[in-house]
A = this chain, B = another copy of it.
Amino acid sequence: MVFLTRRERFNAAHRLYNKEWSDEKNKEVFGKCSNANYHGHNFELFVTVKGLPDPDTGFIVNAHSLSVLLQSEIIDKLDHSNLNLDVDFLKDVLPSSENIVIAIWGVLEKLITDCELHCIKLVETENIFVEYYGPQ
């Protein structure tokens, strides 16, 4: 088994906000991350797949094809978007990094078929990132 990781990037706005709660409760729990007018990040997405290298190509997956898939199915929807308002696969999802990686896993596990999806990593700032290895 070899693991291959492809990095993609997207720039998006979001806020942490629980619709069930008052604005005060949101502010108390999420602090400035709940700013009503949003804030944003340069997110980095790392998608790791695993498999055996094909003897003819040396590839577990064509990294360029993987990038094309990630662009069309994930990045085109997230880049220059508002994660609370604009993204179909995040509808009704509180867009914490934890919830975003679970949602991305849900999209990709059906689309990656010639090798195995291993990990979704999302870097929110240089100081915080999350990783998800799927439901187990």
Q: Mark A82-122, 1 if CB is under 8 A from B, else 0.
A: 10011000000111111101100000000000000000000
B18–A57 CB distance below 8 A: yes
B3–A96 CB distance below 8 A: no
Asked if A4 CB lies within 8 Å of chain B CBs, one says yes
Give the distance to chain B from A65, nearest Cβ to Cβ, in Å: 10
Copies in the complex: 6
A37–B13 CB distance below 8 A: yes
CA distance A94 to B53 in the complex (A): 11
12 extra A-B contacts, CB within 8 A, seeds A5-B128, A18-B57, A37-B86: A3-B132, A5-B129, A6-B128, A7-B128, A12-B39, A13-B37, A35-B82, A42-B42, A42-B125, A58-B99, A60-B98, A63-B128
Could you tell me which A residues sit within 8 Å of B by CB distance? 1-9, 11-14, 16, 18, 20-21, 29-33, 35, 37-42, 53, 56-60, 62-64, 67, 79-82, 85-86, 93-99, 101-102, 125-133, 136
